[in-house]
Amino acid sequence: MNGSRTTLTTAIAVAALSATAALTGCSPAPIQSETKTQTAQKLDLVGLNAVVLGERLASGELTATEVTAAYLERISQIDAATVNAMLEVNPDAGQIARDLDARFQAEGIQGPLHGIPVVLKANIDTGDSMATSAGSIAMADNVAATDAFFVTRLREAGAVVLGKTNMSEWANFRSMTSSSGWSSLGGQVRNAYVLDRNPCGSSSGSAAAVAASLAALAVGTETDGSIVCPSGLNGIVGIKPTVGAISRHGIIPVAHSQDTAGPMAKTVLGAAMLLQAMVGQHPATPGVPDRSTGFLPDPDLTSLTGKRLGVLRSYPGAGKHPRVEAVFTASIEALRQLGADIVDPIEFAADESIARAEMQVFLSEFKTDLNDYLASHQRPADRDTLAELIEFNQRNRDVVMPIFGQELFHAAEATVGLGDPAYLEALAGSGERVREALIAAFAENKLDALVAPTNAPAWKIDWVAGDRFSVGSSGVAAISGYPSITVPAGEVSGLPVGISFIGLGWSEAALIQTAYAFEQATQARTEPSYIPTLEK
């Protein structure tokens, strides 16, 4: 939805119409034709990566007002017809930009993100008129009193919060048969490269918005894969930081053991700029170090001589997609040509017991963490606990659950708290176990980072069977709480494939430098063409 938030009644009616249209197979409207000159002029501005855009804003060549207006115009012209990435546009964006311009004239640049438009996933609090909905009709009127802590930091850095992005409802934690990118409030996000393909992960709208040049930068959140997978499938850079590097204050949670926000951009440097502005802890979260500097890569260091990179061969789907393997092989060779010492293979001891333990952690923490979030926000009387959300969804099932149910909500509600021996055993059998294995692998092989494919090509959107993940490596960093960064590495049939660099805790700066060197050498990213389908 564009503009300010809608009422719950209106949201339900709009969602019902959207769901009905989508379920009957209606195609997105075609983009209205315009001259090549008009298109080029618009892309001259909105097509700039965040770094170049920032330089032109800082020099005064561009104003925040004209940049914001250009992005708002692009959203209004192409979003609904292509990726459906935006859930809500910030009605204050224009005034924020004008205020920045006035301060620029009086005082100069207001921060490292001065005038740069940033969009936020819809599970992130903003202390304005926009809703923090997690994509759910049940949360359509959840307007936070204050910003999430890192959003305050973004405003202080000079960013223009342009709007909230569509997402997988409840961060893909309502059903095991969900379609990534679908929400009852916003409908289906589409892949920017081929529109009938899935955008992946719950931060799908944030990734598609950056890919489609609807914003220069975006923020997503991840519990397992929801930053790196949509970034990989939409051909952009995404950073999943060490858990705890960015405050979780003001984010609708899934599981505190693995939840984190993270930056998305077209380039490594753009993502690093955003990360540097985001990191830091809320004063109410003691004991976590503030590591808010040193993420920007040195542009002169594009050699990887002296780096030891381990090739992860035991990721889910390894060997099952020859064309992905070909992209990965070429990427490893590029790293070798940059001077890296390649250690191949690195076998990582992962089995189904880790996945089962991770799910138990999610279920237990989701109930506790969500109830805590709801208790700290003004909610309607019938939606202030997980149990009441389950009842609300059931009462409104025709518009909330037209394509998948809420079995994960039921399973989470059945858990008995964080003192439960089953939860404590699962915590040890997931996060602790994976961290120990990673530390041992890095020490034994003297590694600086692991490398693995981020994703397979995007699968077709499927509202019957749900998602079809075939290749992925997010679990290693997600379960351990350690950082990873994905960078475009190539394409399969015009669909992007990314490569992930995974490190030990608090190694973001080194990972970013390695990813930057790879990006500069390969230049693998291409702009999307918004092809309706690959099938004739």
Count the Cβ atoms, other than its own, within 10 Å of residue 87. 28
Structure tokens at 271: 């993502």
Whether 202 is catalytic is: yes
Whether 536 is catalytic is: no
For residue 7, count CB atoms less than 10 angstroms from its CB and return exposed for 0-12, middle for 13-18, buried for 19 or more: exposed
| CA 208/CA 224 separation, integer angstroms | 18
Of the chain, the end-to-end C-alpha distance in Å amounts to 32
Given the residues 121, 240, 266, 367, select the one marked as catalytic: 121
Given the residues 203, 226, 257, 331, select the one marked as catalytic: 226
Q: Which residue has the tokens 């939860």?
A: 423
Which amino acid belongs to residue 466?
Answer: G
45: which residues sit within 8 A by CB, 6+ positions away?
53, 62, 66, 67, 70
Q: Which residue has the tokens 């940059």?
A: 338
* 3-state DSSP of 131-197: CCCCCCHHHCCCCCCCCCHHHHHHHHCCCEEEEEECCCHHHHCCCCCCCCCEECCCEECCCCCECCE
CB 69 within 8 A of CB 90: no
Which alpha helices (H) appear in 185-304, and where do they start and end? 204-211, 228-233, 268-278
| CA 144/CA 139 separation, integer angstroms | 11
> What is the DSSP annotation of 297-338?
--TT----TT-EEEEE--STTTTS-HHHHHHHHHHHHHHHHT
Q: Which residue has the tokens 């000159």?
A: 37
The upper half-sphere exposure of residue 366, i.e. CA atoms within 13 Å in the direction of its Cβ, equals 24
| CA 249/CA 233 separation, integer angstroms | 28
Whether 470 is catalytic is: no
Q: Which residue has the tokens 């223009």?
A: 160
CB 486 within 8 A of CB 237: yes
Phi, psi of 65 (to 5 degrees): -65, -45
Picking from 255, 274, 235, 85, the residue whose alpha carbon sits closest to that of residue 171 is 255
Beta strands in 333-393 (DSSP E): 341-346
Given the residues 175, 184, 202, 473, select the one marked as catalytic: 202
Alpha-carbon dihedral angle through residues 440, 445, 449, 450, given to the nearest 10 degrees: -80
CA 499-202-17 angle, 5° bins: 135
399: which residues sit within 8 A by CB, 6+ positions away?
12, 15, 16, 19, 137, 184
Query: Coil, strand, or helix at residue 350?
Result: coil
CB 508 within 8 A of CB 467: no
Q: Which residues are catalytically annotated?
A: 121, 202, 226
